[in-house]
Amino acid sequence: MHTLLTMSATEMAEEIREGRLSSRDAVDVHIARIQEVNPALNAIVADRFEEARAEADAADKRRGDADLPPLHGVPCSIKECFALMGMPNCSGLVARRDYRADSDATAVARLRAAGAIPLGVTNLSELCMWMESNNRVYGRTNNPYDHSRLVGGSSGGEGAIIGAGGTPFGLGSDIGGSIRMPAFFNGVFGHKPSGGLVPGSGQFPNSEGAALRYLTTGPLSRKAGDLSLLLRVLAGPDGIDGGCEAMTLGDPSTVDVRGLRVISVEGNGVRRVRRDLRDAQRRAARELEKRGAIVEVREIPEMKRSLELWSGMLGASEGESFATMLANGGSFKGMRELAKWSIRRSDHTLPAIVLALIEGPLGGGRSDVDAIIREGHELRDKLNAIIGDGVMLYPSYTRPAPKHGHPLLTLIDWLYTAVINVMELPVTQTPLGLNHEGLPLGVQVVGSHGNDHVTIAVAQALEEACGGWVPPWEA
């Protein structure tokens, strides 16, 4: 395999700036890889290869300039829910399938201003609200390590194409694990920023009210060292997203693992984690301990309430209901759509229909929602206090990448990621090698609010200790 397919974005940008690599070569090599793997994966759902080549040629003409941006000439991918000028932006909703973006979302604009070159947009779950990246517009995405398995959602196309070596990094969003589960299932790094750090303006659908801080925009990458750079490019208010605030970003290079407090929580008391994932988390804790970290294994009983906390706090926020969005602003007839789905006539996927039917009882329609919100805020304060300036290791899911459709049988396994959104804590999803089936293992590295640099630093230490991303051709 070409060395460019395993190079970090940071290294690639440096090679281009120093004249040792052309942006056109970097773009062409990644386009060739996408063309090789995408027919089986269905990760990139609309490409802009010719535009990317032209942008790469323009980038090469600037080599040698003194003021080149940090990602100058580096290819990337963008989740389809983010507006990218001239590209589809329907989030898998049939009613919007012909819509094309006439501007760039804030995060996209910031990446492009930093010199990145988008190669295309990637698949996702319908309206970004399920963990299988499948919809009636683009179809289903397959895992690069085993095509019979899912890629996660909703940023599943991002996870799959980065995991396959098709792009060095990409842009995702996360309201219940939509960056972290795809990163986990596809063996790459993903960072869910602290609530309020990165604006989500220009994506569809978007959130309102308190949920603006639960829905986070962040990077996925094949190398941990790229996350800090990408976060610095993406962070900061844009004057549009009312949930975004100015924060001081720390530097991962200043974090010393020696003496760092590491809390390892191995379960939520609701869904048991499979042995290979528990063993991988314990190995990660041991590796950090070898480097001088102070590791404590403990339980947090309040995590048993993850379903009530996530659904209640998210459901109580402002904005259109999921059912209204599914009907593209109209009235959603759930039972009618369920009947149509049974004879393969619906424009919607089964998980989307079911979620629209149950969102009231699960979310803001609950009679005890005020108590749920208070309970959630109490747990948020407790987690920030427990973690402090250290990190918490927490399972990413109950098992490595399941077979397609399997999550419908285990509906609450995604609670391991979802509850962290309403806690507004930063998380770096970190790969920990492969299991005996050749599937990626991993762990969530959780920090206290604003300590994104600490979770990234620990991810870098674990990458060094455990190997990080394993390219599928080496599996």
Candidates 77, 79, 201, 306; catalytic one: 79
CA terminus-to-terminus distance, the chain: 13
Q: Give all strands (DSSP E) within 157-206, no chain letters.
A: 169-174, 189-192
In this structure, which long-range contacts are made by residues 365-374, counting pairs with CB atoms below 8 Å and at least 24 apart in sequence? 365/315, 366/312, 366/315, 368/312, 369/312, 369/315, 369/316, 372/308, 372/309, 372/312, 372/313, 372/316, 373/312, 373/313, 373/316
Active site residue 207: no
Q: CA-to-CA distance for 154 and 125, rounded, in angstroms?
A: 5
Residue 392 CA to residue 381 CA, distance in Å, equals 14
From the number of C-beta atoms within 10 Å of its C-beta (0-12, 13-18, 19+), residue 365 rates as: middle
- Catalytic residue, chosen from 155, 178, 207, 306, is 178
**Angle, nearest 10°, between helix axes 156-163 and 23-41?**
120
Taking the C-alpha atoms of residue 285 and residue 264, their distance in angstroms, rounded to an integer, is 7
User: DSSP per residue over 92-151, as a string?
Assistant: T-GGGTT-B-SS--HHHHHHHHTT-EEEEEE---GGG-SSS-EETTTEE--BTTBTTB--
What is the DSSP secondary structure assignment for residue 19, as one 8-state letter? T
Neighbouring CB atoms inside 10 A of 343's CB total 7
Q: Which two tokens stand for residue 110?
A: 């910031």
Known catalytic residue at 340: no
**With the CA atoms of 145, 150, 152 and 158 taken in that order, what torsion angle do they form, in degrees rounded to the nearest 10?**
50
| Short-list 146, 382, 397, CA closest to 274 | 397
Residue 252 gets which letter from DSSP? Answer: G
Cis peptide before 155 (omega within 30 of 0): no
154 is an active site residue: yes
Catalytic one among 154, 173, 194, 311? 154
Q: Which two tokens stand for residue 461?
A: 């230490």
Bond preceding residue 237 cis, omega within 30 of 0:
no
Active site residues per annotation: 79, 154, 178
